[in-house]
Structures are given as structure tokens and as C-alpha cells.
């Protein structure tokens, strides 16, 4: 079992990306041919993704520091293109003291709240209904919203 446990560690520590990128194509073919259990493979791949997602944030700062040592914003390394760039820039407007912005933002929040409340109401409709628009006096037939969904698989570890 120790040998199997070390496989992912070897993958990330010793192999170059070119050595394993695209290496799952035969597994996909085996699934399509009925030679592999697709659910088993799916669960295993989700476990690998989960493990990677738990490790990556912890090494991001050190990896960025290491990348900066190359003295370039973009370079090739380990068969990949590495690019140092700003990601997730966030502008903070709460201290701008701009009354036009504050008014527009307040109106936006009020509109979002009104839309949310109306959506809740529309979700309760089981069949079309007629109502009178109080602003225009127009009689309007409204319909329940369409509901679309897609089935998936939730995997927890």
C-alpha cells in the first residue's frame, strides 16, 4: 500500500508535466469500451483534485517567490509557461466620498432586493396569472419561471 500511496507524491515531485499530461486518454478509452468503471475513475480523479486543491494554496506564495527569481514576467519552465501577473484585483469604493457613486450603489442594492423579492414570488406560481400593473393600469398575464437543472455527482472526502 505504501507504494500506491507514494504515487501522487512521485507524480508532483519527480515527473515533468509532459510525462503525465494527456496520460489519461487510455483510461477514457477503457471507460468507453466498458473495461473500466467510470464511477470508480471519477471518484479517484475527484480525490486527486481535492488533494491538489488542498495543497496548492499553501505553496502559492513560495512558488510565486521562486518564479520571481527568474527575473521575467513570463517564461517557460518544466514544459509549462509560467506567468507572474496580477490576479483578482479588487477596487474598494467605500472611502471615495463620492455622493453620485453612493446614490447609484444604493439604488442598485434596492433594485437587487426588489428583484430578489419578486423572484421569490414568481417561484411560487404554479400556473399563469393575470394582474394589473399599478403604474400603467395595464393588465398583464405573467407566467411561472422555467426551472432548469442538471444532475451531477457530489463527492465528499
For residue 22, what pLDDT is reported? Answer: 85
- Domain range for residue 137? 99-142
Asked if the structure places residue 94 within a domain, the reply is: no
19-28, 40-49, 69-78, 115-124: lowest mean pLDDT where? 19-28
Q: Are residues 78 and 8 in the same domain?
A: yes
Q: What pLDDT, on the 0 to 100 scale, is given for residue 1?
A: 46
Say if residue 46 is in the same domain as residue 70: yes
Residue 155 lies in a domain: no
pLDDT digits (tens, 9 = 90+) for 79-95: 899 999 998 899 999 99
Q: Has residue 91 been placed in a domain?
A: no
Q: d(Cα 144, Cα 126) in Å, to the nearest integer?
A: 6
Does 79 share its domain with 6?
A: yes
Do 38 and 111 belong to one domain?
no
Whole-angstrom distance, CA of residue 73 vs CA of residue 83: 6
41 & 112 share domain? no
The whole-number average pLDDT for the span 134-153 is: 94
DSSP result, 76-115: EETTEEEE----S-----TTS--HHHHHHHHHHHHHHHHH
Q: Are 82 and 88 in contact (CB under 8 A)?
A: no
Domains contained in the chain, number: 2
Give the tens place of pLDDT for each residue, 7-56: 788 778 888 888 888 888 999 999 999 999 999 999 999 999 999 999 99
Question: Binning pLDDT at 50, 70 and 90, where does residue 156 land?
Answer: confident
Could you tell me what percent of the chain has a pLDDT over 70?
A: 96
Q: What is the DSSP letter of 141?
A: E
Question: Both 59 and 116 in a single domain?
Answer: no
Tell me the C-alpha to C-alpha distance, in Å, between residue 1 and each of 24, 30, 41: 22, 24, 18
Domain presence at residue 115: yes
Instruction: Look at residue 6 in the predicted model and tell me its pLDDT.
Output: 66
154 domain-assigned: no
> Is 27 part of a structural domain of the chain?
yes
Rg of the chain in Å (alpha carbons): 27
Does a structural domain hold residue 65? yes
Structural domain includes residue 42: yes
- Which of 88 and 128 is assigned the larger pLDDT? 128
Q: What mean pLDDT is predicted for residues 119-135?
A: 95
pLDDT of residue 116: 98
Retrieve residue 40's grid coordinates. 470508480
- Residues 13, 66, single domain; the answer is yes
Pair 13, 67 in one domain: yes
pLDDT at 17: 84
Amino acid at each position: 500500500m505504501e507504494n500506491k500511496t507514494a504515487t501522487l507524491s512521485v507524480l508532483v515531485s519527480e515527473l515533468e508535466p509532459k510525462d503525465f499530461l494527456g496520460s489519461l486518454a487510455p483510461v477514457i478509452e477503457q471507460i468507453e469500451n466498458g473495461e473500466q468503471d467510470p464511477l470508480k475513475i471519477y471518484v479517484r480523479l475527484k480525490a486527486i483534485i481535492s488533494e491538489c486543491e488542498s495543497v496548492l494554496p499553501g505553496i502559492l506564495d513560495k512558488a510565486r517567490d521562486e518564479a520571481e527569481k527568474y527575473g521575467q514576467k513570463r517564461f517557460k519552465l518544466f514544459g509549462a509557461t509560467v506567468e507572474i501577473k496580477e490576479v483578482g484585483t479588487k477596487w474598494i469604493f467605500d472611502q471615495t466620498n463620492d455622493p453620485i457613486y453612493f446614490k447609484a450603489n444604493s439604488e442598485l442594492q434596492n433594485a437587487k432586493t426588489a428583484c430578489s423579492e419578486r423572484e421569490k414570488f414568481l417561484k411560487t406560481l404554479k400556473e399563469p396569472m393575470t394582474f394589473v400593473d399599478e403604474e400603467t393600469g395595464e393588465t398583464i398575464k405573467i407566467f411561472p419561471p422555467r426551472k432548469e437543472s442538471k444532475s451531477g455527482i457530489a463527492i465528499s472526502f
